[in-house]
Amino acid sequence: MSAQPTPLAIVGVGKIARDQHIPTIAASDAFTLAATVTRHNTLPDVPNYGSIAELVAGQPKVRAIAICTPPRGRIALIRDAVAHGLDILLEKPPAATVTEAEAIVAAIAGSDSVLHVTWHSREAAAVEPARAWLQDRRIARVTVSWREDVRVWHPGQEWIWEPGIGVFDPGINALSILTRILPHPLSLARATLAFPANKAAPIAADLVLDDGTDAAIAVGFDFDQRGPQTWDIAIQTDDGVLTLTAGGSAMAVDGVTQAVPDEPEYARLYARFAELIATRQSDTDLQPFRLVADAYLLGVRREVAAFDWNG
C-alpha cells in the first residue's frame, strides 16, 4: 500500500455507492473520496461534476473512478475514463449486454488504464479458503441454493424486474463465487427459467453446469423464498464435504466450522483494487456474466403466477 492515498471519484451515487463504496473509501488508507460524478444525488462537502471530462478538468489529481451507475451505457464512461488515463473499478454487473461487456474489456486492452471488473461476493471471507481447499480435490457434486424473498431484500424496487435482471441479480453473486472456487472452467449445460405472468425477468432459475468432468453441478435460484433465506453452496469431493454458507462468509468441512479471516467484502474489494493499481494489472473476468447470458439464451421458459409485492 502506498503512503499516499489515491484520490478517487465515484460515478453514480445510488444505493450501492451509499451503502458500501462511500463508507469503505472513508475507512480506507489506500483511497480518498475526491469527487462525485452524478446528475442527481450529490454529497455534502464533496465536489460534484456532470461528466468525466468536467471531473478531470476540475480535479486533475483524481487518478481513479468507481463506476456505480446502472449497467446500461457504461461503455461511454469507460471510453472517457480511458481517454483521460483513469483507473477504473466497475461495480457488478459489468454491463447490460454481452456486447457492451466485451466492448468494455476491449477498450482497456492496449490502454494505460487499469480495469477491475468486480464481483463483491468473491471477496466474502470464506471464498479464498474454499478455493484453496478445493484445488487438489476431485469434485463429485456441487449444489448451489440461493433462495431469498425479493420482497424483503428489494422492497418495491421495480428495476429488479427489468429484462435481464430478476433472480439473476443475486444469482450472479453465486456464479461469481462458483467460477472462482472450482478448479475447472464452467459452461452451461441447460437451464429452466420461471417468469411471473406479469414480469419481464425470471423469479426463479435452475441451471445445470458442466466443468468438463463427471461432476454434477446443480444451481437453484429463487426470489420467492419464504422462511429461511439461503445463500449456500455444498461441494462433495473425494475427500470431504465443503459447505459455504451465508453468501460465502462462513465455511465448514464435514460439518466442522472453519476459521476464516474477518474482513468486510468491500474492504477486501478496495484493497484488491489498490493492489491492481500498484502492479498496473487489470482483472477483467466476465465468466459470471456470460453464464447468466447463456442461461437466458438456452433456458427453457415457463410461466408462473403473477408477482405481487404484497403477495
Residues with active-site annotation: 92
Instruction: Assess 294 for contact with a second copy (CB under 8 A).
Output: yes
Q: Does residue 13 interact with a second copy by CB under 8 A?
A: no
Residue 51 in the binding site for a second copy (CB under 8 A): no
For a second copy, the closer of residues 232 and 285 by Cβ is 285
* 257 grid coordinates: 466450522
Q: Which stretch binds a second copy (CB under 8 A): 3-11, 152-160, 222-230, 299-307?
A: 299-307
Q: What is d(CA 196, CA 305) in angstroms, rounded to the nearest whole number?
A: 5
Question: Which of helix, strand or coil describes residue 247?
Answer: helix
Task: Quote the strand ranges of the chain, DSSP E.
Answer: 6-11, 31-37, 48-49, 64-67, 87-90, 115-117, 139-147, 187-196, 204-210, 216-222, 230-237, 240-245, 250-253, 256-257, 300-304
Distance CA 177, CA 12 (A): 25
- Interacting positions 147-186 with a second copy (CB under 8 A): 163-164, 185-186
C-alpha cell at 145: 441454493
Q: Does 109 bind a second copy (CB under 8 A)?
A: no
For the bound state, the minimum distance from the C-beta of residue 283 to a second copy, rounded and expressed in Å, comes to: 16
Kindly tell me which residue out of 31, 49, 146, 195 binds a second copy, with binding defined by CB under 8 A: 195
111 binds a second copy (CB under 8 A): no
Decide: 75 and 107 in contact? Cβ < 8 Å: yes
Residue type, 168: F
Is 214 a binding residue for a second copy by CB under 8 A? The answer is: no
Residue number, 128 or 206, with CB nearest to a second copy = 206
Taking the C-alpha atoms of residue 123 and residue 270, their distance in angstroms, rounded to an integer, is 10
Minimum Å distance from CB 286 to a second copy? 8
Q: Which of 98, 140, 241, 276 binds a second copy (CB under 8 A)?
A: 98
C-alpha cell at 92: 457488478
100 binds a second copy (CB under 8 A): yes
Q: Is residue 74 a contact point for a second copy (CB under 8 A)? A: no
188 binds a second copy (CB under 8 A): yes
Q: Report the amino acid identity of residue 167.
A: V
Q: Which residues of 167-191 are buried (b: 16+ CB within 10 A; e: fewer)?
A: bbbbbbbbbbbbbbbbeeebebeeb
Question: Does residue 241 interact with a second copy by CB under 8 A?
Answer: no
Q: Cα separation of 113 and 104, whole Å?
A: 12
Q: How far is the CB of 93 from a second copy (least distance, A)?
A: 11
In 3D space, the residue among 111, 14, 110, 5 whose CA is nearest the CA of residue 63 turns out to be: 5
Q: Which stretch binds a second copy (CB under 8 A): 44-52, 84-92, 273-281, 287-295?
A: 287-295
**Binding-site member from 41, 187, 213, 257 for a second copy (CB under 8 A):** 187
State yes or no: residue 41 binds a second copy (CB under 8 A).
no
Select the residue interacting with a second copy from 62, 78, 139, 292 (CB under 8 A): 292
Residues that bind a second copy (CB under 8 A): 75, 96-100, 102-103, 163-164, 185-188, 190, 195, 200, 286-287, 290-294, 296-301, 303
